[in-house]
């Protein structure tokens, strides 16, 4: 994708990279000019996201919550891409981007409330766990059906273009969603009308239990962009700096009227699809161990160490701070009760119809 690549980012032959797997720079000219504060913030968010996943996973195993999905191994892909967007832009998440929500100001307390489905849940217990919404952070409600968020993000961006709002949208989906009709509808419309949207496919190489090579005949998701007349690019999804740069250039192009971009972030799903899933049945153990060595947090940690930012003392501080933040959020959220029954009848009608008033009275009695 020459419009984005230019001479600013190097490619390793298969995907765009800034950092090698050992944390060193592939090309010093490609190093972004981030402040130490931003670098520390990004590292903390990655650690906090992983720790949050680990704690909620344990809670599910303990029977304290009913369901959970982790993003272990994919933190760089979704945190980096969300960081590249402007706060005014809108994010259309799937259910494996908690770090993006935290980056936008969604508190861990509200996150815990949503997982528990209690009275502190902004969606009033109506959604599955990990299906949060946060209007103030410009995050649309997450849906379970695969790919439905793609045409939603395109529609939002199309409206923004008509209104001259200078907004863009970023939509996340997995490799499995590229086999859905919604993917085709969204890509085709966005390509025809040059909608200001960035399509971000986190190719973690498993659509629940189906390996990527059985999901599609094409060798790379990014190649699918050609069919819709838009740019496509594959980036190393475990390279935080590369993800930020590629996404930033894609959204700048979209915002300036250059049309959408399909970004394929190549990564790997380290854990199960969800707590209802056992990856040992279908997973490739050797591939899993290989990808664990490519851990995105470890790679970024080594980069920060080379910059004189990371140290054992810094790591201890980060771990302790994140641990306290997660524990406090869960402790406070577990004190709250379930939403009251009458909330079942809210948020649909301004004036409740007679038949629903009768149902509400019967339920409450």
Selection from 232, 329, 275 nearest residue 69 by Cα: 275
Selection from 209, 228, 263, 276 nearest residue 66 by Cα: 276
- CB-based contacts of 237, cutoff 8 Å, min separation 6: 74, 76, 77, 202, 203, 204, 243, 265, 266, 267, 296
Which tokens is 207 given?
């659509």
Decide: helix, strand or coil at residue 10.
strand
**Dihedral through CA 186, CA 190, CA 191, CA 195, nearest 10?**
-160
CB 197 within 8 A of CB 168: yes
CA torsion sign, 238 to 241 to 246 to 251?
A: positive
Q: Which residue numbers are catalytic?
A: 269, 273, 282
Sheet strands (E) in the chain? 10-11, 16-17, 90-92, 169-174, 197-203, 206-207, 210-211, 231-236, 261-266
Selection from 158, 250, 129, 273 nearest residue 199 by Cα: 250
């Amino acid at each position: 994708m020459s419009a984005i690549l230019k001479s600013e980012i190097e490619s390793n032959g298969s995907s765009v990279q800034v950092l090698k797997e050992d944390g060193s720079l592939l090309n010093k000219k490609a190093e972004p000019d981030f402040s130490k504060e931003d670098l520390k913030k990004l590292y903390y968010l990655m650690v906090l996201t992983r720790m949050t996943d680990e704690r909620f996973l344990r809670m599910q195993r303990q029977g304290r919550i009913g369901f959970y999905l982790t993003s272990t191994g994919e933190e760089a892909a979704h945190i980096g891409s969300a960081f590249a967007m402007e706060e005014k832009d809108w994010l259309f998440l799937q259910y494996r981007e908690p770090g993006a929500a935290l980056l936008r100001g969604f508190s861990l307390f509200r996150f815990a409330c949503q997982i528990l489905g209690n009275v502190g849940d902004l969606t009033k217990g109506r959604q599955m766990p990990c299906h949060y919404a946060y209007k103030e952070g410009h995050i649309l409600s997450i849906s379970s059906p695969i790919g439905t968020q793609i045409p939603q993000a395109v529609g939002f961006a199309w409206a923004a273009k008509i209104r001259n709002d200078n907004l863009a949208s970023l939509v996340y989906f997995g490799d499995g969603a590229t086999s859905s009709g919604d993917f085709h509808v969204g890509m085709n419309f966005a390509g025809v009308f040059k909608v200001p949207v960035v399509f971000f496919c986190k190719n973690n190489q498993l659509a629940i239990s189906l390996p990527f090579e059985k999901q599609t005949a094409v060798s790379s998701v990014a190649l699918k962009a050609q069919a819709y007349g838009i740019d496509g690019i594959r980036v190393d999804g475990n390279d935080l700096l590369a993800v930020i740069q590629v996404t930033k250039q894609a959204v700048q192009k979209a915002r300036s009227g250059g049309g959408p971009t399909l970004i394929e972030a190549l990564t790997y799903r380290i854990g199960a699809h969800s707590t209802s899933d056992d990856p040992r049945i279908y997973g490739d153990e050797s591939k899993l161990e290989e990808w664990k060595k490519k851990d995105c947090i470890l790679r970024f940690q080594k980069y920060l160490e080379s910059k004189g930012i990371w140290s054992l003392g810094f790591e201890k501080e980060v771990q302790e701070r994140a641990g306290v933040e997660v524990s406090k959020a869960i402790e406070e959220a577990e004190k709250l009760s379930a939403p009251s029954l009458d909330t079942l009848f809210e948020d649909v009608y301004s004036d409740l119809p007679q038949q629903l008033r009768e149902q509400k009275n019967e339920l409450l009695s």
